[in-house]
């Protein structure tokens, strides 16, 4: 009897020691410490991103390579940038990919994200009815185009959803010295695809990101009327959610996604992606810029 009792006692002691070790908090891993991360079968991570990124079709093309390489399923939650950032703040996403630079910097500064990384960029465009009742075709400055739309009281469909596109739109109205209100200004509270559909049906003006417009161009009769203003530049950043605030997030996998998304191979895939014969996004990571110093913005 003495032998078995000794074994049981030792086993209990080992279990107590292991339990005590498990209570110790783990430090946040550095990017270099995640190089060998591979998820267990069936692991799922959450990427909160914008409707414009999702609607373009880009993620359907590039994400399967990441899922295969890391044996993980990526659940994409497509909402406005503001909502995506909110999901990160609440710990309901492991990583965010958005295009609202001021809000992104605030997200990191307040400790919700560990760091922001450049991924890609495109630009915003102002589209509208072919007959262009506000006369904005060829106007080089976005604020001047918006002012003409307001003066003409031509129907304008706003995202109205706290997205990056909505934030940019409001900044342009402010620069134009216009407070948009009245029957001509319609706040949809919808994603980019839905707003494009509404604008097309109502022959209205709207601000769109070039990526979603390119993907939807074959379904619409709204031409690009104003573009090229530096104020319409639209950068996208990726940010892992900080595990110091939300220990349950899959930080190591999120960091691996950053490394993969900013790698030359994935950046080249982003640059090759087209819809309707148009390039929708331009790679812009540090690694890409180091290899192509004259091609970034």
Which domain-ending residue is among 233, 261, 277? 233
Q: Are residues 212 and 138 in the same domain?
A: yes
Mean pLDDT, range 173-180, rounded to an integer: 97
Look at residue 39 in the predicted model and tell me its pLDDT: 53
Q: Are residues 46 and 84 in the same domain?
A: yes
pLDDT higher at 40 or 229: 229
Q: Are residues 115 and 240 in the same domain?
A: yes
Look at residue 215 in the predicted model and tell me its pLDDT: 85
Look at residue 293 in the predicted model and tell me its pLDDT: 81
Residue 13's pLDDT band, with cuts at 50, 70 and 90, is very low
Q: How far is CA 190 from CA 79, 80, 104, 163, 186, in A?
A: 9, 9, 21, 9, 11
| Residue 20 domain flag | no
For residue 134, the SS3 value is coil
Which domain-ending residue is among 211, 233, 255? 233
Domain count, the chain: 2
Q: Are residues 265 and 229 in the same domain?
A: no
Which residue matches tokens 């049906």?
Answer: 201
In this predicted structure, the answer to whether residue 36 has a pLDDT above a threshold of 50 is: no
Q: Are residues 206 and 263 in the same domain?
A: no
Decide if 120 contacts 269 (C-beta within 8 A): no
pLDDT > 70 in the chain, percent: 85
Choose from 22-26, 93-97, 210-214 the range with maximum mean pLDDT.
93-97
In this predicted structure, the answer to whether residue 277 has a pLDDT above a threshold of 90 is: no
Mean pLDDT, range 175-185, rounded to an integer: 97
| Residue 3 domain flag | no
Decide if 199 contacts 206 (C-beta within 8 A): yes
Look at residue 297 in the predicted model and tell me its pLDDT: 52
Please choose, from the candidates 159, 124, 126, the residue with its C-alpha nearest in 3D space to the C-alpha of residue 230: 124
Q: Are residues 153 and 166 in the same domain?
A: yes
pLDDT 10s digits, 184-239:
999 999 989 899 999 999 999 999 999 889 888 888 999 999 999 999 999 999 99
Domain coverage including residue 257:
37-121+235-291
Strands 278-279 and 274-275: antiparallel
Look at residue 217 in the predicted model and tell me its pLDDT: 83
Give pTM, 2 decimals. Answer: 0.80
Q: Are residues 243 and 117 in the same domain?
A: yes
**Average pLDDT score, the chain:** 87
pLDDT higher at 249 or 210: 249
Decide if 211 contacts 122 (C-beta within 8 A): yes
| Residue 32 domain flag | no
Residue 122's pLDDT band, with cuts at 50, 70 and 90, is very high
Q: Are residues 202 and 241 in the same domain?
A: no
Residue 266, token pair as written in the block: 């994935």
Look at residue 190 in the predicted model and tell me its pLDDT: 92
Q: Are residues 218 and 92 in the same domain?
A: no
């Amino acid at each position: 009897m003495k032998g078995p009792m000794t074994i049981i006692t030792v086993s209990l002691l080992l279990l107590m020691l292991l339990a005590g070790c498990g209570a110790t908090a783990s430090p946040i891993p550095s990017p270099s410490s995640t190089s060998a991360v591979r998820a267990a079968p069936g692991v799922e991570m959450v990427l909160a991103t914008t409707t414009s990124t999702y609607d373009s079709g880009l993620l359907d093309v590039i994400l399967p390579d990441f899922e295969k390489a890391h044996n993980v399923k990526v659940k994409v939650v497509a909402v406005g940038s503001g909502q995506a950032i909110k999901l990160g703040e609440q710990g309901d996403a492991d990583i965010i990919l958005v295009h609202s630079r001021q809000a992104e910097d605030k997200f990191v500064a307040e400790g919700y994200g560990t760091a922001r990384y450049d991924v890609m960029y495109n630009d915003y465009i102002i589209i509208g009815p072919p007959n262009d009742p506000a006369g904005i075709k060829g106007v080089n400055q976005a604020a001047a185009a918006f002012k003409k739309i307001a003066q003409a009281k031509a129907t304008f469909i706003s995202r109205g959803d706290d997205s990056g596109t909505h934030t940019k739109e409001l900044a342009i109205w402010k620069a134009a010295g216009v407070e948009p209100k009245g029957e001509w200004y319609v706040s949809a509270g919808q994603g980019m695809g839905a707003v494009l559909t509404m604008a097309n049906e109502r022959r209205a003006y709207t601000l769109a990101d070039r990526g979603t417009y390119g993907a939807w161009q074959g379904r619409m009769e709204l031409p690009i009327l104003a573009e090229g203003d530096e104020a319409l530049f639209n950068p996208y950043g990726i940010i892992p959610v900080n595990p110091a605030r939300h220990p349950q997030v899959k930080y190591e996998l999120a960091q691996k996604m950053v490394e993969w998304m900013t790698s030359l191979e994935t950046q080249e895939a982003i640059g090759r992606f087209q819809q309707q014969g148009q390039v929708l996004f331009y790679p812009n990571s540090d690694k890409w810029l180091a290899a192509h110093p004259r091609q970034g913005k």
